Chain A
Amino acid sequence: MTALLYLLPISLVLGGVGLFAFFWTIKADQYDDAKGNAMRILSDEYDDHPKED
């Protein structure tokens, strides 16, 4: 049962990370335009260019 002592905190922390990621998505307006976001991934334009060599 000692495994629980590691596993429980680990699972809680991982869950907590997920929860905070969710908070961040809400704060960053990511649910305001679900349809548009689904379409934007098809666009060839970059919002943010990756570094060009």
Chain B
Amino acid sequence: MTVASCPACVAIPEERIAKIAADQGRKLAFAMPDVHCAGCIGTVEKGAMGLDGVKSARLNLTLKRLYVDADPELSEQIIDQLASVGHVALPLDSDTLQSGSDPAGRKLLLRLGVAFFAMMNVMLLSISVWAGAEGETRNFLHWISAFIALPTVAFAAVPFFTSGWAALRHAKLNMDVPISLAILLATALSLFETWVGGAEAYFDAALSLTFFLLLGRYLNHRTRMAARSAALELAALEVKTALLKGAETKAVPIADLKQGDIVLVQPGMAVPVDGTVVSGTSDLNKSLLTGETLPEAVAPGASVYSGTLNLTGPLEIEITGDTNDTVLRQITELVSLAEAAKSRYTGLAERAAAIYAPVVHLVAFAGFVGWYLATGDIRHSLNIAVAVLIITCPCALGLAVPAVMTATVSRLFQAGVLVKDGTAIERLAEVQAVVFDKTGTLTKGEAELELQTDRDRLSLAAGLAAASAHPLSKAVVLAARERGVQPAEVSGISEVAGKGIAGVLKGQPIRLGRAEWLGTEAETGRGVQSWLQLGDAPAVPLFFTDPPRSDAAQTVADLKNTGLPVSMLSGDRAEVAEPLAKKLGIATVAASVLPEAKLRIIEAQGDKTLMVGDGLNDAAAMSGAFVSIAPASAIDATRATADLILLGNNLTEIPRAIRLARQARARVLENFSIAAIYNLVAIPLALLGYASPLAAAIAMSSSSILVSLNALRLLRSKT
């Protein structure tokens, strides 16, 4: 160290840097879905603080997220501790979550504050001018206004300038071009008027324009950030580690795995990566990939895909890396093809802006030319042009559309619907048909034992099944408990992965499992089944169904009442799909459809289709559909393509969301009409030279407030 003269000076900052770095590494985040009140805040924070090694704990009620400053190894203990005080905590991957702060939003808020301060002060000065200040006094007031307005415009209106300039550079017109022009012209002209001691200055108008449009922009930003952070949280909830096999088996992040690594997948765990089985046999639930409810048996040599669930036996999987033919790869290609084929949706505001921007420029320019030809007075003609630009302020577009969208998005969020895409609400309002996926969307995606199963048979099966974690076994045990059947006393139970369970009942061997294992043949046309054999007696079957979600029928009926035809697409077999469709009242069914065929069907429909799905096999169809919804239980890739996500997995929110979207669209159109009527009255006045600067500013502000209040009505409306 060369700077030895004052070691302390050097040492302190370094220590501090190290401390900051350590602190950042130690922030743990947990999702706390059930906190809602002041009491919860106290319980949770005190609960977490009660642990040794926890430095601080802070609950964010808006995000329902707990931040804890502690060693990552304490994570499990914290969850247990919170459970003991009655709260569910789910660990969040802090890498996925990134930092909670939002620098862009903060900057917008700063600009908004500055614009508001300047607007109010200049407005006050303008009122004095308007009330009759003259000569020196008026000039003095104008100079103070200029002194406040110039730095404000230079700071607060920057977002409009950059966006408008970016559009102009690409030889395009967007809404920010007339906005920037109005702000700049109004400021420049007012400065000139002040300089020469003129009567009229537009500083107040330039500032209120800046303020109201910034408000719209901020609302827009807040909405987008809220959706983004909720989507990030969903992703962060997923465990991104795999058990890497080596000298000692340990959990490593999935991102650190490489080709040739061997990972261990225990029963009940999701397969983390694509690969080949090197040892072990098991059953895989592939319903998220294919929509098929029947588990598939795998043995060494079989290819397995991430997103499937390992059911019965431990598997060792070698990562094969980029093979060309994986299901995921095919689907990803389909998704990008579908997205490329789909024409980009232009939002209402964008469509209106495309008409609005040129019209405003033409009218202002015509006013300038007209007055110049008539009077030859450049200064007055410019004043007229500026008045027109200010008075036509695109508040209905710049403020009213974001206000309506913010209100709608927050209503939907409260109901457990996450809106991921900005134009999704507008598209949802235009939907003409609804298509559902079957497995996991309309149904629970879990097996349930058929009701008419023989009670003795159930008792025997339950005796065996109690020892197994296979979903069919669990379904048997659950059915026995629900129907009050006492499980038989079976001893010496052993599970043969991928085949079934064997045991001994009163000296007789008893087996429950696949038909082939018991030397018989599966009954075709009956869907998922398991066979039971006692002693030498012939094997008897147990049948399973995939029951619909409790709210599926109501949702379908509700959608039909709204006037939307409902149909179903399923990767499952027709004999499973058709009875279910009939039960739910869906007339149109396509069964055994591959992902590609799903996309074809959606594209061929021509109508504006809403696709609801959860599996990877739905992803392509969903990206090809006009708008798409996925339940939160959906696979990663599918959630990524979906425009809306049902956080509560509650299907009845779909018809409600559609109704709310229609209301929002109506409100936006209403706001456009308000703005149009206002412009029809105000533009002629401005052109004729009757709009004083203060009148223009007040008229513009009041129209802004009017459209915002109209948008806020959405928060109170019933659906």
- Chain A residues within CB distance 8 Å of chain B: 1, 4, 8, 11-12, 15-16, 18-19, 22-23, 26, 29, 31-36, 39-40, 42-45
Contact A15 B60 (CB under 8 A): no
CB distance from A26 to the nearest CB of B (A): 6
- A36 in contact with B61 given A15-B121, A19-B113, A19-B117 (CB within 8 Å): yes
The verdict on B83 contacting chain A, using a C-beta distance below 8 Å, is no
Q: How far is the CA of A23 from the CA of B60 in the complex (A)?
A: 21
**Count, A-B residue pairs, CB within 8 A:** 57
Identity of the chain B residue whose Cβ is nearest the Cβ of A9 in the assembled complex: B144
Contact B137 A1 (CB under 8 A): yes
Contact B110 A36 (CB under 8 A): no
Contact A40 B38 (CB under 8 A): yes
- A-B CB contact pairs (8 Å), 14 listed: A1-B137, A4-B137, A11-B124, A16-B117, A22-B113, A23-B113, A26-B106, A26-B113, A31-B109, A32-B60, A33-B60, A39-B38, A39-B61, A45-B42
Question: Which residues of B are found within 8 Å of A22, using beta-carbon distances?
Answer: 113, 117
CB distance from B144 to the nearest CB of A (A): 6
Contact A32 B117 (CB under 8 A): no
- In this complex, the interface size class of chain B, counting residues with CB under 8 Å from chain A, is 20 to 34
CB distance from B64 to the nearest CB of A (A): 9
Contact B62 A34 (CB under 8 A): yes
Extra 6 A-B pairs, beta carbons < 8 Å, given A39-B38, A42-B38 = A8-B125, A23-B113, A33-B63, A35-B62, A43-B38, A44-B42
- Chain B residues within CB distance 8 Å of chain A: 37-38, 41-42, 46, 59-63, 100-101, 106, 109-110, 113-114, 117, 120-121, 124-125, 137, 140, 144, 148
Contact A35 B106 (CB under 8 A): no
Q: Which 10 A-B pairs have the closest CB atoms?
A: A36-B61, A42-B38, A39-B38, A33-B60, A19-B117, A22-B113, A35-B62, A35-B61, A33-B62, A43-B38
Q: How far is the CA of A43 from the CA of B37 in the complex (A)?
A: 10
The dominant DSSP class at the A interface is helix
Question: Which residues of B are found within 8 Å of A35, using beta-carbon distances?
Answer: 61-62
CB distance from B444 to the nearest CB of A (A): 33
CB distance from B596 to the nearest CB of A (A): 45
Identity of the chain B residue whose Cβ is nearest the Cβ of A41 in the assembled complex: B38
Identity of the chain A residue whose Cβ is nearest the Cβ of B40 in the assembled complex: A39
Question: Which residues of A are found within 8 Å of B63, using beta-carbon distances?
Answer: 33
Identity of the chain A residue whose Cβ is nearest the Cβ of B147 in the assembled complex: A12
Q: How far is the CA of A34 from the CA of B226 in the complex (A)?
A: 13
Contact B41 A11 (CB under 8 A): no
Q: Could you say which of A8, A15, A26, A40 contacts B117, with CB atoms under 8 Å apart? A: A15
Q: How far is the CA of A42 from the CA of B41 in the complex (A)?
A: 10
Q: How far is the CA of A34 from the CA of B410 in the complex (A)?
A: 14
CB distance from B55 to the nearest CB of A (A): 15
Question: Which residues of B are found within 8 Å of A15, using beta-carbon distances?
Answer: 117, 120-121
- A36 in contact with B117 given A26-B109, A42-B38, A43-B42 (CB within 8 Å): no
Q: Could you say which of A12, A23, A36, A45 contacts B121, with CB atoms under 8 Å apart? A: A12
CB distance from B400 to the nearest CB of A (A): 23
- A36 in contact with B42 given A15-B120, A15-B121 (CB within 8 Å): no
Identity of the chain B residue whose Cβ is nearest the Cβ of A27 in the assembled complex: B106
- A19 in contact with B59 given A4-B137, A26-B106, A45-B42 (CB within 8 Å): no
Question: Which residues of A are found within 8 Å of B109, using beta-carbon distances?
Answer: 26, 31
**Which of B46, B61, B148 has the most A CB atoms < 10 Å from its CB?**
B61
Q: How far is the CA of A15 from the CA of B117 in the complex (A)?
A: 7
Question: Which residues of A are found within 8 Å of B46, using beta-carbon distances?
Answer: 45
CB distance from B543 to the nearest CB of A (A): 49
Contact A39 B37 (CB under 8 A): yes
Q: How far is the CA of A40 from the CA of B38 in the complex (A)?
A: 6
